[in-house]
Amino acid sequence: MTRRPRIDLRAEDGFTIVELLTAMVIGAIVLFATLTVLDTTISLTTRVNTRVDTLQRGRNAMDLMIRDLRSQNCVNVLTNAATGATSMDDSLIGGSATSVTFYTDLGDGSKPPTRRTLTFSPTAKTIVETIVKPALQAGAWNFTTGATTTRTLLTDVVQDGATPVFSFYAFDGSTPRTPTVALSSPLSAADEARAVRISIAFKVQRTGGTATSPGATLLQDDVYRRAADPNDADPSPECSS
């Protein structure tokens, strides 16, 4: 027969108050450290996700704008419907700190060129592209009766401090020439013909964020207009068509 161990109710074996307090303090420290690591991990994960989102949205919009601006083309437009008179328009036909208007040809010649305007709205915090397709009349494109569409390229976008979203530069007089002469905004007709480099800069905030929200991403890029030979006596962009 197996005997059960007897319990001595008079025994004083156990933990002292000091030992209990020590164990509680150590447990509290471990728990606090664990919660701190968890909170930091969540915060960093949110910040990384925000940065990835702003960078991805900003880069997609920047790529579209750079693609369109690099495809600028001079266009023969109809100036008098009654007589059929035409004139060759420069590829860049308007520019300011918040917008740029130009002709571009993204096709293989089988489709007409388009007139596009990129507009930054500091109030709506958007960059919108307006696209005008001309009436089909090769060699005398009529943009006054063309179809107009718009698309929002980017939301939650703001200006980077005092830096304009769009800046324009002409060649200087150095040898070799470099496009570092800043042109006044909005561009005059003469400066439209001189503009060689178009600089784009903006800051993308997290969706629904403010100017002080963390995770904002700054993007900058330059576009050089085609057919601008710095070795010419008058190094202005020439029409490529």
- For 138-192, the pLDDT digits (tens) are 778 888 877 899 999 999 999 998 999 999 999 888 878 888 999 999 999 999 9
Please tell me the least confidently modeled range out of 28-32, 124-128, 192-196, 230-234.
Answer: 230-234
* 95 CB neighbour count, 10 Å cutoff: 23
Q: Which long-range contacts (CB under 8 A, 24 or more apart) does 121-124 make?
A: 122/98, 122/158, 122/159
Element (DSSP H or E) covering residue 55:
helix 17-70
Alpha-carbon gap, residue 193 to 213, rounded angstroms = 40
pLDDT band at 240 (very low <50, low <70, confident <90, very high): very low
CA angle, corner 102, sides to 220 and 231, nearest 5? 75
- Given this model, what pLDDT does residue 182 score? 95
Residue range 3-16: mean pLDDT, rounded: 64
> What is the DSSP-derived secondary structure letter of residue 74?
-
Alpha-carbon gap, residue 4 to 18, rounded angstroms = 33
Whether the CB-CB separation of 140 and 76 falls below 8 Å is answered with yes
Alpha-carbon gap, residue 139 to 39, rounded angstroms = 64
